[in-house]
Structure 1
Amino acid sequence: MPTPLPSPPPPPSSPSLDELPIRLLTPEDLTACADLSEDRGWPREEHKWGLLLAAGTGYGIDDPLGKGLVTACVVTSYGPGLRAIGMVLVAERYARRGVGRRLMRHVVAEAGGTPLTLHATPNGQPLYEQLGFAVTGRAEMLTGRFSFAEPAPGIPTRPATAEDLPAILRLDTEVFGLDRTHMITRLPAFADQLRVAEEQGEITGFAAAWPNMDTHVVGPLVARDAATAQALVASLAEGTDRPLRTDVDVRHEALLSWLKANGLQSIAFNAVMNLGIPDLPGDWSRRFAPLTVAAG
């Protein structure tokens, strides 16, 4: 009888999810991050991922089967006063297996006591609560084609210039409560429009509209009052034929009512959650919308 062939060696066992290393992401991971967004039914948002990976710190776990990322998130730092966590995603094939929790615990540990903030969807909120985050506010997401049905106040606005940047940075630091120069200085290249409101030579507000898939996102939106915020949004709407999208602090009832009267519809509410700080720094009354909820 012929000698039987030896059995092939068993395939190497895959490491458990708890053993997979968490690594730093780079801008070269942009496509993998966009693929992960698409895997979970989110828009790819490559433009936004590019900003966050360049200005922040990304964390992720590679799929041992070579199929992209198991999980990812991005942390935007504002010095020792605050870090913002965003874009927390887990691939559908690894959902409900604890990898998102493990990644978040790593990010919290890496912060070393620095206060953290994030915008949580209803699905994500229970996990963050288990990690010690507390709800401190809410933001309402709106989208739609701006109708100009209800006029904006006649407050003058104009395109921002390079000479406006120092004044914009001073106003933003005063309102945001921390220095985010590394984000604001990227706006001229990141956004399709950047406008300021100006009265008697003083810049009283600024806003950007940046492309995200088929919409223009209005953010940041910083203004002296609701009337100035309305004037800035209306001027941005005049400069685009795309639908607008924005996330507004629910305490800004006058702006929200005006946006809805002009065709924008509410599509979601997110909880603003903090860890290690009772409330966000700065002046919420002049902070109407974030640059992106992923960056605080």
Structure 2
Amino acid sequence: MPELSTLPIRTLTPDDLTACLDLAEDRGWSREEHKWRLLLTAGQGYGIDAPDGNGGLIGAYVLTDYTGEYACVSMVLVAERYARRGLGRRLMRHAIEASGDAAPFLQATDNGRPLYEQLGFRAVGATTMLTGTFAPDGTGGTDGTDRVSVRRASAADMRAVLALDAEVFGTDRTELLARLPAFADRFVVADDAAGGITGFAARWPNGPTDVFGPVVAADLATAQALIADLGADAGERVRFDVDSRHPELERWLRAHGLSGDYRCTLMVHTAPDIPGDISRRFAPYSVALG
């Protein structure tokens, strides 16, 4: 059997979807087919083929580039039978190199954080995964959501959505957002009195869970109105990854039925922080995408 350090890291395509799902399941992750399909088309996957005759992949990750300025590293996986043999480090070194001049960033679990720190990533924030059944009539008190106009997004809104997102996210992610109407099962925008768009949000299916994201809004009340609209007809289990820099939103979400304490650390390499305006960036597209 060849040395693990000599096994080639190859690019993945959508044809590798099943192998990626099998690898995720091997590590106890859900088979998130809808999300993986997006990642393998909007981003670039990389993987290592099994050398032991079992087929499939023994390691993988996805890199999603944002105009050569920033790159999100996600879905870093090593098969259980090859764990703790240096493959994770090798994949991450490859990700840093593949990022080129772009600054890579990622969401780290507590288990992965020591490795990322050794490779030069630094913590710049944190997110908490909240789940549960969203209760539209929560106990969060008056929040001003009734004063915000929210409606279904249309094709005519995309130009304004892209402009707002580029300003708030800090770099262009047109290719990713262009997929949102087909990827999400609900996509909404908020309007101001003059008819301009002040925010947008989406909800997309991830197996039995409805994930809320992205959420971009002018202020907290607008974000809450967008989220309340998404939650009105959501399934019994929803997920919201809330940034620690939005404590008021986290309190409001908990008052509306969500709970949890699973945290990930936002880390970035060769840059002081990820771009954009956190005061208006209320939820990521996905923790795998930023």
Task: Please confirm whether the aligned pair reaches a TM-score higher than 0.5, indicating the same fold.
Answer: yes
Conserved 8 A contact 1:113-1:276: no
Conserved 8 A contact 2:208-2:237: yes
Structure 1: unaligned runs, 5 residues or longer: 1-13
TM-score (norm 1): 0.94
Using the alignment, how far apart are the partners of 1:259 and 1:109 within structure 2?
39
Identical residues among aligned pairs (%): 56
Aligned to 1:257: 251
Aligned to 2:172: 179
The SS at the match of 2:75 is: strand
Aligned to 2:2: 15
How far did residue 241 of structure 1 move?
A: 2.5
Aligned to 1:59: 46
Using the alignment, how far apart are the partners of 1:110 and 1:233 within structure 2?
36
Aligned to 1:163: 156
* One-letter amino acid matched to 1:195: V
* One-letter amino acid matched to 1:186: R
Conserved 8 A contact 1:81-1:178: yes
Aligned to 1:68: 56
Aligned to 1:246: 240
Aligned to 1:96: 84
Conserved 8 A contact 1:143-1:267: no
The SS at the match of 1:196 is: strand
Bigger Cα displacement from structure 2, 146-155 vs 187-196: 146-155
Using the alignment, how far apart are the partners of 2:47 and 2:130 within structure 1?
30
Q: 2:117 aligns with which of 129, 132, 137?
A: 129
Aligned to 2:34: 47
Q: 1:188 aligns with which of 181, 187, 191?
A: 181
How far did residue 107 of structure 1 move?
A: 1.4
Using the alignment, how far apart are the partners of 2:8 and 2:235 within structure 1?
45
* One-letter amino acid matched to 1:124: G
Conserved 8 A contact 1:74-1:88: yes
The SS at the match of 1:84 is: strand
Using the alignment, how far apart are the partners of 2:7 and 2:289 within structure 1?
27
Q: How does 1:98-117 map to 2 (within 5 A)?
A: 98-117=86-105
* One-letter amino acid matched to 2:270: G
Aligned to 2:264: 270
TM-score (norm 2): 0.95
Give 1 or 2 for the bigger CA radius of gyration: 1
Using the alignment, how far apart are the partners of 1:181 and 1:54 within structure 2?
14
Map Cα deviations across residues 67-115 of structure 1 (whole Å, 9 max, x no partner). 3111100000001210000010111111101011111111111222321
Conserved 8 A contact 2:45-2:63: yes
Which 4+ runs in 1 deviate beyond 6 A?
Answer: none
Asked whether 1:198 is paired with 2:186, we answer no
Conserved 8 A contact 2:65-2:99: no
Asked whether 1:37 is paired with 2:10, we answer no
**CA root-mean-square deviation:** 1.0
Aligned to 1:7: none
Using the alignment, how far apart are the partners of 2:197 and 2:97 within structure 1?
40
How far did residue 140 of structure 1 move?
A: 1.1
Using the alignment, how far apart are the partners of 1:162 and 1:52 within structure 2?
23
